[in-house]
Chains A and B, each alone.
Chain A
Amino acid sequence: MTQRIRAFAAFWYDFVVGDDWLIAVGVVVSLALTYALSRTAVPAWWLLPLALVLLLPLSLWRAVRRPGH
């Protein structure tokens, strides 16, 4: 039973999070910051594009420098 629950959790982790957890965490943090900024008078639309510009190269860099590459 424990194995099945683990397998089920592993399936959903792989389906949603995928190869690099940093992307999922970065997206959630960026959305939270966007929400916080949207409650102020400052425009918040630029935060997610900025997160994209930072997250994608960082994730690529992590993939390239992995052992075995």
Chain B
Amino acid sequence: MGSEALFIAVFLACVVEAAEATTIVLAAGTARDWRSATIGLASALAVLAVVVAALGPAVSEVPLRGLRLVVGALLLVFGLQWLRKAILRASGHQDRHDEDKIFAEELATAAAQSRRRVGLVPDWYGFTLSFKGVLLEGLEVVFIVLTFGANQHDVGLAAIAAGCAVLLVAAAGLAIRAPLSRVPENTMKFVVGIMLTAFGVFWGAEGAGAHWPGSDAALLVLIPAVAGFAVILVALMRGSQRAAPVTAEGRG
């Protein structure tokens, strides 16, 4: 995989995660208290920095084959879950991810909670809402950066791609003080699901001892093949779609 592909894959994945985290922080700040939401955001970023500092060097020390086996397995599981959700949404079997709707739901829930001061935090609920949202979405960003970066021996470039994505989304969120509903999140999740799945298949098989025909060039076949297969599944499921959409599953 070239540097450009590494950058694009990490950047797109991180934009999706950052958009979701931004919606939660905006809801916490708007409905509750901006100071508490900001402290929650800063605290979560500090925890994530500690996780990166602790895991980054450790991940780099793991032998490449073992790393590819574990990373390939995780990427494949994550990628298939993302792709599954994206196909269900694209075919009309599940509600599409709607930042406006999620923002309204978060606002309503947050506004209904009572206010409690804890130490320097004026509103504990606003703090925990912001902290949890950023930490959960941030953990996925950290995972993507470390795994893609370590596999390509370029954690620095992966971190820059993630940093660009987070800064871009955070700046846009702060500028409009509204959920980023114009981010084409459903489409991006579809693309990222395809990339995570293709890289998961490639690295997982290599880590398990298989050798790809054409070595790295096999990725040039795998990515369009996974994309084509996903598009065919969407078309087939659209054809069979006849009942109300599934709404019980997670919103991610």
Contact = CB atoms under 8 A, between A and B. Distances in A.
Nearest to A61: B237
A24 B204 CA distance: 13
Interface in B204-246: 204-205, 207-213, 218, 222, 225-226, 229-230, 233, 237, 240, 243-246
B77 A60 contact: no
Nearest to A14: B250
Given A23-B77, A48-B205, A56 B84 contact: yes
Residue from the set B207, B225, B233, B248 with the largest chain A CB neighbour count within 10 Å: B248
A57 B69 CA distance: 24
B209 A64 contact: no
Contacts, number: 116
A66 interface: yes
Given A31-B69, A31-B73, A49-B225, A69 B243 contact: yes
A48 B74 CA distance: 13
Given A49-B225, A52-B201, A69-B93, A20 B73 contact: no
Contacts of B209: 34-35, 38-39, 44
Nearest to A38: B209
A26 to B, nearest CB: 8
Interface of A is mostly: helix
Contacts of B237: 60, 64
Contact of B205 (A18, A32, A34, A39): A34
B93 A64 contact: yes
A63 B208 contact: no
B61 interface: no
A23 B84 contact: yes
Interface residues of B, number: 47
Given A47-B210, A69-B243, A23 B81 contact: yes
Interface in B69-88: 69, 72-74, 76-78, 80-81, 83-85, 87-88
Interface of B: 69, 72-74, 76-78, 80-81, 83-85, 87-88, 93-94, 136, 139-140, 197, 200-201, 204-205, 207-213, 218, 222, 225-226, 229-230, 233, 237, 240, 243-246, 248-250
Given A48-B205, A66-B246, 18 more contacts: A19-B85, A19-B250, A23-B77, A27-B200, A35-B209, A39-B209, A43-B211, A44-B205, A45-B213, A45-B218, A47-B210, A52-B80, A52-B226, A59-B84, A63-B249, A66-B248, A68-B246, A68-B248
Interface of A: 14-20, 23-24, 27-28, 31-32, 34-35, 37-39, 43-45, 47-49, 52-53, 55-57, 59-60, 63-64, 66, 68-69
